[in-house]
Structures are given as C-alpha cells and as structure tokens.
Structure 1
Amino acid sequence: MAPKGPGKKKKEVDWADEEHFSKERSMIYIEHTYECPIFQTKADECGSFLQQRIPERKFQLVRNRYGHQVPREGAFEIGFSQNARTSTHLLWSGLERGPPRRDKFPADYELLVPDVHRILKKFYPDKAVGVLDEDDGDEAREDM
C-alpha cells in the first residue's frame, strides 16, 4: 500500500451539508506537519482515543483540512467542534513546544476529555455525559 502523505488525496466529504450532517457527529480537526510519521500516528491515536473514551458520540477526524491546509513547520494542533456546523475550539497546541518532539503531543489524551465535555455541554446540555454543573457538584457534596 502506498504511504499516505500530502500528495495522497482522500475523497472529501462536506460534513456540514444536508446529506452528511448529523448533530451526533463531532469533529476533530488536527493540523500536523509531515516532517515525521509520528505526527500522523499521533493524530490517529487522538481520534481513536476520543471514540473509545466517549462511545456515545460519533467522531470524524479531519487532518490538515483534507490536505487543503499547508501545515506549519512542527505543528500539532487539536481543534474540536460539537458538530460540523459549530465553531472550532483549540484543545491543544504543540506549535511552541519542543524540542524534544514528544513535547509537541499531549502526554495523555485524557487531559483533553474535560474540555471536550465542556464543549459538548455548551451546545447540547442534555447530550453531555460525565460533566457536572458547579451547582450539581455542591448539591452532591451536601447529600454526603
């Protein structure tokens, strides 16, 4: 199989159009450089982790805007949006981090989960799972 890279084009899907749009599909946007294969591997790991960690949601990983974006040198940034029609929120930027290269990536993707839940709750409070309101947390402590 030929290696995937900046010259390899995948069929582009517009997830915001009527045919493909779903409120249940969250978008993970990752900008990563092609200077080393580990950047692509880490992008895949991030998408897989969030799908396993939050199985009640569907996630769509979009890398470098399907090749339309020329990634910045040393870039590894993770953006998230509740769905394809909502704004993108930056979860992680490794642009100013490193060397060493390992500092460009989150040490543990679990650190991103609270921000993901916060974004999900912002748009669809009834759909968010695993996030307590500050008021809910106070009530829960008083009951103990």
Structure 2
Amino acid sequence: MLYLEDIKIGDRFISREYEMKLEEIKQFAQAYDPQDFHLNEEKAKDHSIFQGLAASGWHTAAVTMRLWTECFPIANGLIGAESNIRWPRPTRPDDKLHVEVEIVAITPSKSKNDRAIVSYVTQTLNQHADVLFISTTKIIVFKKEISSV
C-alpha cells in the first residue's frame, strides 16, 4: 500500500489488461445505460454516430476504476475529491483495455497535516493504443506515520 511519502510527481502506474466482452457490454448497458448503441448491433451500426456497438462510457469508467484499484494501491483507498472525465473514442467489444496513471501534483492540506490532495491523469487505452477514456482526478492521500496510529 502506498502512502503520501511513497509517491512523487511524475510517478507512473500501469495496470494489467482487461478484455471487454460483448455480453458484458450488453449486461452493463441493460442495467445502467439502456441505449440502442450499447445494446443492439444493427441499430448501433445504422443509426448511431458510433457506427457500431459501443460500450457505455460509464462501463469504461467502471473498468478503469477496477484497474486503478489494482495498479495504484493507495493506503486507506482511492478517496475521490474531484474528477474531470472525457471519452475521446468509444470502447468496442473485444477491446483490451489497460490504464496508465501519472501523478501530476501533490498539494499538502493547509488545515490537516496528515494528508494532501494528489492529482493524477489517467488514460485508458485499447490494444491499438487508442485513448478511450481520460480523466484528471484528485484524491486524498494520507501520511504513513499519522494514518497508522
């Protein structure tokens, strides 16, 4: 597990690969984002800007979150404070995703000396190195000596 003392600006973390299967895309969409371009190959091909079935952006975000937790093991968890998200390209069935995280800022708390706000940029890429998801996120990260008391 990583504490504030363990990370610095420029640190990078890379996740394992995760394959987006057609059935999983449809199941997620049926439960959380039931739109034709996530559920119906024919309609997605003929009647959508995606020109084919695309995973919900929120599904891509959820997979990104899973991969974050595995490759970026912050002690006390990834406690979000803010995030800005973009989806420059759709995620397709059988895409193999991985996440790349880079620490871009560390801002110590002015009122609590046991923590800082850590900002990082995440890119979720497919097997062709196409960027499917980009976020700039701020999380709370605690110091080791204080959080272990």
What TM-score range do you get, normalising by the shorter chain? under 0.3
More strand by share: 2
Relative contact order: is structure 1 or structure 2 higher (C-alpha 8 Å, sep ≥ 6)? 2
TM-score if structure 2 supplies the norm length?
0.25
More helix by share: 1
